[in-house]
Amino acid sequence: LEAARRLWGGAWGPEEIPGLEEVPASAPAHPPPPQPSGRAPAHLHPPTRTYPSPHLLAASNPEAVRALRSNSPSPTAAGGRFTDAELMRYAVAAGWLAAAPGSPAAAKCLAAAAAAARRTDAWLASAVWATPAQLVQAAHLAHWAPPGDEGPGARPVLVLRVGAASHEARGRAAAAAYGDVIVTLVQGAVMEGRLADVPGEGRPQDLVVRVDAGGASVLSSTRILPVVRHVATTLNQHFPGRLYVMELHNLPPFATWLVVAVRGLMHATTRDKVVVVGEGGRHAAPPP
C-alpha cells in the first residue's frame, strides 16, 4: 500500500479520487470485446443511479438552487459552464440528496457544492489546454470512439491508450502534455455538445472512459500512472456526474497488484466508477 502511495504521488483524500472495483465474480470469464458503438458491455455498467436528472432536481428545488447561486460562479462564468443543472451535479456529489430537506446538513452540503464550483471556476481559468495541433498529434493515444448503431442516446466513449502512451510520452513534460490532451477532450465534450446539458431523454450527459493499458511495462507504467491519477482526480473534482464508468482493459499482471493496493485508498461511494476488465486484463480485446 505504501509503495502504491509513492508511485501514484501520495495518498488521495476521500473527496479527490474515484475508486476501483473489479468486475463481479458473476461476470463472464471472457468478457466480450469493448463495443465500438459507444457503450460498455452490460456487465461493466455501474449500478443504476436512482436520483432524478440534474435538470429535474434543479427545477423541483428552487430554494436549493438559490442557495447554490448565492455562493457559486455566475451563470455566464467560464463560457456558461455553471448552469443550474451543473450546480446540482456538484450538490449531488457533495451528498445533498442524502441530507434531510432544509436541514443544517443539507445547507452544509450546498455550501460545499458551491465551494467546489468556485474551485472549478478558478481551475478553468488557470488550466493548461491542449492546442488543436496537439489533439491531432495525440489522436492515436486519446480519441473519441466512432459512434455505432445504438442511436444518438448512446454515451460517448473516450478511448485512452495509456499503454502505448507510457512508451511515447517519455519525461514528465510529455506525460503532463498527454494528461492535458485528455482533460481538454473532456472539457470540449462538456462545452461543445458531445455531452448534453439540456433536459430530455436520449441526450447523454455522462461518458465512458475506456483505458487500454496493453503494452505497458513496469518501467514505462511509472511514467503514465500519475497521468491516470491526474485524469481521475480531475474528472472527480471538476466534472462531477460526468463519468459513468472507467474501464481498465489489458491491465498487466504487475499492475493488477497495484490496483488492489490502491483500492484501499478509495472512497467507498465511488468504487464502482472504475472496473477492471478481464483477469489481469489478459482476456480483454483492445479498445476500438
Residue with cell 502504491: 4
**What is the pairing mode between strands 157-160 and 142-144?**
antiparallel
Longest Cα–Cα distance in the chain: 53
Q: What residue spans define the domains of the chain? A: 2-47+129-281, 54-126
Under CATH, what is the fold of the domain 2-47+129-281? Phosphatidylinositol Transfer Protein Sec14p (3.40.525)
Instruction: Select from 87, 117, 144, 68 the least CA-distant residue to 238.
Output: 117
178 vs 142: CA distance, rounded Å: 8
Mean pLDDT of the chain: 75
Residue 112 has pLDDT above 90, yes or no: yes
Higher pLDDT, 261 or 90: 90
Instruction: Select from 219, 222, 212, 128 the least CA-distant residue to 172.
Output: 222
pLDDT tens for each residue of 59-91: 999 999 999 999 999 998 999 999 999 999 999
Helix, strand, coil percent content, the chain, rounded in steps of 5: 50, 10, 40
* Size (the chain), residues: 288
Q: For the residues 255-259, what does the mean pLDDT come to?
A: 63
pLDDT tens for each residue of 27-36: 333 333 343 3
> Which amino acid is present at 156?
P
**SS3 state at 215:** coil
Residue with cell 465500438: 36
**SS3 state at 256:** helix
Instruction: Select from 195, 185, 197, 200 the least CA-distant residue to 154.
Output: 195
Sign of the alpha-carbon torsion through 222, 21, 180, 111: negative
Residue with cell 456487465: 43
Which pTM does this prediction carry? 0.76
